[in-house]
Chains A and B, each alone.
Chain A
Amino acid sequence: MFGSVVVPADGGCHLLSGCGFPAPSADIFNWPVLATFHLFGIEFHITKPVVLMMIGTALIMAFFLIAGAKSKLVPSRFQSLGEIGYTFVRDQISREVIGKDGDKYVPLLVSLFFFVWVLNLFSVIPGAQFPVTSKFAFPVALALMVWVTYMVLGMKKQGPIKFFTNMMFPPGLPKPIYLILAPIELLSNVFVRPFTLAVRLFANMFAGHLLITIFSIGAWYLLSPSVIGAIGSTASFAMTVALTGFEMFIQFLQAFIFTLLTAVYIGGSLHAEH
């Protein structure tokens, strides 16, 4: 969990050992390169987040493959677990936001939800303890995928020009307002949406991981034979535990919100003036 925070070789960076608080910085998100390979002249680095992502993808695939392998009318335990996950996304997100005709996009939403959630969950799994989505590249790739999906879908369902005019000129407003509204709508729908989608997920996980790291380093640092050390260290450790619980809630919420917003964007592309 301590990442690349420099701790003296004897492991003794404590309150009264004349050592300042080793506050973590953004450096704890930079992992050493495990392997390199070249593809199309670009150098690719494999680091811990990439390995975690592969493990996460394999876990999700294995889970849903096993859950859906021998589906019966009366489901087995594993199958009903998979069904709970699937119907949760379908009923709570897709049907609420898009409606019945959103059922076609439920597989995409289910994959997105579980992918984001598992990648977030690595933050609290011992051994992994790193939220993969706190590396900006992962949310960016996901947000770009969502962006392409709802842009292409909108152009297909509403027509390539009509999609933009529907977006920029919502009906029923006084004419002069469109002068301001049209560029704002275009900007917010085409450029700001994918940006905030990626930044929201990334910043939440980044901040959460930094918070947990600060308190766990605090617990280690304050560990010293003194009253303030004993109280502070205990309080800091308690905060780490409490924050871990809080983070688990945030991880779920962020995966949910990511999927919810994807559904909203897809719904907006399917139905005009919405």
Chain B
Amino acid sequence: MSLLAEVTGSLGPIGYGLAAIGPGIGIGIIFGNGVQAIARQPEAYGVIRQNMLLGFALAEALALIGFVAPFVLK
């Protein structure tokens, strides 16, 4: 079988780019809906912000694992 295409160099950055898509969308949804919730119910700011940050932290963890993976699995 002949070689059709070849990728050389580090694939890590491409992997990170792919890994960042999902959390990017997720974080956008979390903060978008969080701001909307605060606008609708400003008195619930404390609870909403706390849950917003919690969701943000969980979604962000995925992107960060993607960021660390290229360094670890060289």
Name the distance in Å between A194's Cβ and chain B's nearest Cβ: 12
Given A96-B46, A96-B47, A196-B61, A203 and B67 contact (CB-CB distance below 8 Å): yes
Name the distance in Å between A110's Cβ and chain B's nearest Cβ: 17
Which one of A96, A203, A204 has the greatest number of beta carbons of chain B within 10 Å?
A203
Name the distance in Å between B23's Cβ and chain A's nearest Cβ: 12
Which residue of A199, A203, A204, A256 is within 8 Å of B53 (Cβ)? A256
Which residue of A92, A96, A97, A200 is within 8 Å of B57 (Cβ)? A200
Contacts of B71 in A (CB 8 A): 26
Complex formed: what's the CA distance from A80 to B70 in Å?
46
Name the distance in Å between A246's Cβ and chain B's nearest Cβ: 15
Q: Does B29 belong to the interface (CB within 8 Å)?
A: no
Q: How large is the interface on B (under 10, 10 to 19, 20 to 34, 35 or more residues)?
A: 10 to 19
Name the distance in Å between B56's Cβ and chain A's nearest Cβ: 8
Chain A, interface SS category: helix
Name the distance in Å between A268's Cβ and chain B's nearest Cβ: 12
Assess the B50–A207 pair: CB atoms within 8 A.
no
Interface flags, A196-208, vs B, CB<8A=1, else 0: 1001101110110
Q: Does A121 belong to the interface (CB within 8 Å)?
A: no
Given A96-B46, A96-B47, A97-B50, A206 and B57 contact (CB-CB distance below 8 Å): no
Assess the A200–B60 pair: CB atoms within 8 A.
yes
By beta carbon, the residue of chain B nearest A25 is B71
Which residue of B46, B56, B64 is within 8 Å of A203 (Cβ)? B64
Q: Does A257 belong to the interface (CB within 8 Å)?
A: yes
Q: Does A264 belong to the interface (CB within 8 Å)?
A: yes
Q: Does A260 belong to the interface (CB within 8 Å)?
A: yes
Assess the B65–A203 pair: CB atoms within 8 A.
yes
- State which residues 177-214 of A face B: CB under 8 Å: 196, 199-200, 202-204, 206-207
6 pairs, A vs B, C-beta closer than 8 Å:
A196-B61, A199-B64, A200-B60, A203-B65, A204-B64, A206-B67
